[in-house]
Amino acid sequence: MFGLGTIINVGGILAGGIFGMLFGNRLEKRFQDTLMVATAVCVLFLGISGVLQEMMTVADGKLSSGGTMMMIGSFAIGSLIGEWMNIEHHMERFGEWLKIKTGSTGDAGFVDGFVTASLTVCIGAMAVVGAIQDGISGDYSTLAAKAVLDLIIIMIMTASMGKGCIFSAVPVALFQGSITLLARFIEPMMTAAALSNLSLVGSIMIFCVGANLLWNLKIRVANMLPALIIAVAWAFLPL
């Protein structure tokens, strides 16, 4: 069944969100604050590990790095495009709409939880590769593994940031579902180099999400999303 992987992934997010709500409502604020910091640290290191995996290589017993120009170019061009499109503003508006439709107008952290959780579980090569595998051969194993990870992440985020995190299931369904439908068109572009670039840039964005959580920064990560497309396109430049 094509698309089953995304359905499983969405189910994992919803289950994590429900567990997080039940668990979070029993915690005092100081425990929720500590859980927030713990979540931020975990997200930071998810990003760091992804960056190191793609940038650092060992050859002849020496450690070397690569992808610097691609990283700078993708973020510079992609961020300008994202700011022009004002993607973060549109995500926040959608979050506000969800907030009203779900009767959560009294939840001050709803939109922030929705945007932060959505960026955390949508960005990354695992979502793209898994959705393509699901669309081409019906292989949902990668997205099933992602569902387990997302369940844990969203459970912790919901416990500390509120029920807005549960609705990250919506952009995941739209993003991964669209890739599954277009898999046969996207697959030729997902070369090893393109996937490596995508993973590197996506991991840096995940790090930025963690930095926002931990240090209360205002990095507009959603406005950097076009950098993912630039990173894939970069792999085809005759450099």
pLDDT tens-digit map of 100-155? 999 888 888 899 999 999 998 988 778 888 898 899 888 889 899 999 989 988 99
**pLDDT for the residue 67:** 84
> Rounded mean pLDDT of 67-86?
95
Q: How many CA atoms lie within 13 A of 54 on its CB side?
A: 25
Q: How many CA atoms lie within 13 A of 185 on its CB side?
A: 5
What's the pTM? 0.86
**pLDDT for the residue 3:** 82
> Rounded mean pLDDT of 224-239?
92
- Cα separation, 45 vs 49, whole angstroms: 6
Helices (H), strands (E): how many in the chain?
Answer: 11, 2
Strand partners, 59: 62
Above 80 in pLDDT, residue 37?
Answer: yes
Is residue 5 within 8 A of residue 180, CB to CB? The reply is yes
Burial (CB count within 10 angstroms: exposed 0-12, middle 13-18, buried 19+), residue 167: buried
The contacts of residue 189 (CB under 8 Å, 6+ apart) are 232, 236
**pLDDT for the residue 89:** 95
Q: What pLDDT band is residue 40 in, cutting at 50, 70 and 90?
A: confident
Closest CA to 55 of 208, 223, 231: 231
**pLDDT for the residue 164:** 94
